[in-house]
A and B are shown apart, each in its own frame.
Chain A
């Protein structure tokens, strides 16, 4: 699923380069190997989630893409250039989790300040109205609520009309309503060809809004694919049926079966090939009331990032 990179190739004229291209990237902080050999390519227009438990290397990876920190080893290209070059051209912008605003400027002044730094930027008034902060334009940033500040950060990120928008845990602290509204905006935006990369530890968020999920664990990519591909990676499905007189020994050699468990008249089969298992049960035995359930992305996540601590964090995040 991880694409082979056309490494070293500079984009030919007229050919759109990859939005992001990381090749063999490593980053250490003291003894901690925060990013441990990441290869990642993003094509333009993709909405990609970097998913992983706390400390998996999400923020470190994002910082490297944004040029906020330097990779110890490896190649980092953003639209075929150094991250700093891409930022200088307004190709990349980001919404960070917290901070990043001056309390003593007004909302409009903050936008005006940031807009003035780019070679060309969108109209300040338009951006204010797009972000829904026109009515608080003259308010000091220090007096704005958390949600208003987040909308301001979003407005700042849109000023340069970036081709790549990077969001680090963008909806932390938002309620369900706010989160839904936020993603509706991002979706609409991406339809116009903008690439979106977001880090999250909310499984549902990655599942619902990303075209593609990159699963990080201990600074390594353990899975990379669509939501359903990721789910399929957590081996198989569960087949459940009612079968009077069944014994585990009798069913052990059933096609596709990984494990078989019998509780009274009910049989539970963990199956790699649920179709074959179901066909066998329905045709070769007296089984009835058959049910097939796919494991959720949560199971996939736990199976793939499989640490006890990470299980605790992710289940926590789901509730």
Chain B
């Protein structure tokens, strides 16, 4: 009945490094995300389409905006729109995984909860980079957006890194919201936040009471900051406070729900 080789076998068993994190999983997670047609339409097709619609109109290539033109300004806005949709959806995939019982299945593997979150965030960032790149490539190919090479790279990276804020948002809501309609709900919320943050229409064009509210919303500060290199108008400290405050709220919320979740499963 007893197995003589067992003792040696136990001693020979190893724990994987990095809490089980590895590139195979990252590759499969990215593949999953690209398989979701709705996600791809929201994260890549929509921002590109909106740029073609709004970024190339009239004389936007002639109108200057800081160190570039208005077409470039709109391109940055829509890249940010795509970026935050990507990272939000990437983060919110945890809701589907919880609903399908996959999170529980993963608890039976060496994958550590922290490594799992890191994988989710990196997956979100890969999709975010694709979104930003798609808008920027279309911007470059259509030839109207104009700014220095340094600004193309600088604003692109700011948008991409800034969209990380919404990976935390997606994780938080993914843990908070039930099941699979989380995605539809998030699509709507993000559209609203984009309007409020001035991604589609500059906030300065809203009535003053609306402006006052809009300045507190989570995309406002980020949107202002990613345009700063182009406009060269300096950083307003309230934008930084806005971004940091929402970062604390989203990350704190995600950690709170995540802790509850790991205790329960």
Beyond A87-B108, A94-B108, is A118–B28 a contact (Cβ under 8 Å)? no
| Cβ < 8 Å to A, chain B residues 97-144 | 97, 100-102, 104-111
Q: How many residues from A make CB contacts under 8 Å with B? A: 45
Contact B104 A113 (CB under 8 A): no
When A and B form their complex, what is the total count of cross-chain residue pairs whose Cβ atoms lie within 8 Å? 119
Residues of A within 8 A of B3 (CB): 16, 44-45, 163, 193
**Chain A contacts with B in 1-54, Cβ cutoff 8 A:** 11, 13-17, 43-46
Is the CB–CB distance between A45 and B2 below 8 Å?
yes
On whether the beta carbons of A118 and B110 are closer than 8 Å, the reply is yes
Interface residues of A in 48-72 (CB under 8 A from B): 66-68
Known contacts A99-B100, A102-B102; is-contact A46 B108 (Cβ 8 Å) = no
Distance between Cα atoms of A41 and B5 in the complex (Å): 20
- Segment touching A, from B9-17, B164-172, B240-248: B9-17
CB distance from B143 to the nearest CB of A (A): 38
Q: What B residues does A98 contact at CB under 8 A?
A: 101
Given the interface pairs A68-B265, A117-B110, the reply to whether A101 lies near B102 with Cβ below 8 Å is yes
- Within the complex, what minimum Cβ distance (angstroms) separates B259 from chain A? 14
Contact status A116-B25, CB under 8 Å: yes
Given that A89-B15, A102-B102, A104-B32 are known contacts, is A117 also in contact with B25, CB under 8 Å in the complex? yes
Among B11, B107, B109, find the residue whose CB has the most chain A CB atoms closer than 10 A. B109
Which residues of B, 1-47, contact A by the 8 Å Cβ criterion? 1-11, 13-17, 20, 22, 24-25, 28, 31-32, 35-36
Residues of A within 8 A of B105 (CB): 96, 99-101, 156
A109 and B100 within 8 A (CB): no
Q: Which residue of A lies closest to B16 (CB)?
A: A119
User: Which residues from A are CB-within-8-Å of B36?
Assistant: 104
Contacts of A117 in B (CB 8 A): 16, 20, 22, 25, 106, 109-111
Q: Which residues of B contact A109 (CB under 8 A)?
A: 28, 31
Contacts of A102 in B (CB 8 A): 32, 97, 100, 102
Bound together, the chains give a CA A92 to CA B161 distance in angstroms of: 40
- A87 contacts B101, C-beta separation under 8 Å: no
A88 to B15, CA, bound (A): 5
Contacts of B24 in A (CB 8 A): 112-113, 116
Query: In the bound complex, do residue B110 and residue A193 qualify as a contact, i.e. CB atoms below 8 Å apart?
Result: no
Q: How far is the CB of B205 from chain A (nearest CB, A)?
A: 41
Q: Decide: A105 and B28 in contact? CB cutoff 8 A.
A: yes
Q: A16-B2, A118-B110, A193-B3 are in contact. Are A99 and B20 (CB under 8 A)?
A: no
Nearest neighbor of A94 in chain B, beta-carbon distance = B108
Known: A17-B10, A45-B1, A101-B101. A119 touches B110 (CB 8 A): yes
- Across the interface, A96 reaches (CB within 8 A) one of B16, B20, B104, B111, namely B104
Which are the 6 A-B pairs with shortest beta-carbon distances?
A99-B101, A193-B3, A89-B13, A100-B105, A116-B24, A119-B14
A-B contact pairs, 22 of them (CB 8 A): A43-B1, A45-B2, A68-B104, A87-B110, A90-B110, A92-B108, A94-B108, A99-B102, A100-B100, A100-B102, A101-B102, A102-B32, A105-B32, A113-B25, A117-B20, A117-B111, A118-B16, A118-B110, A119-B15, A193-B3, A193-B5, A193-B6
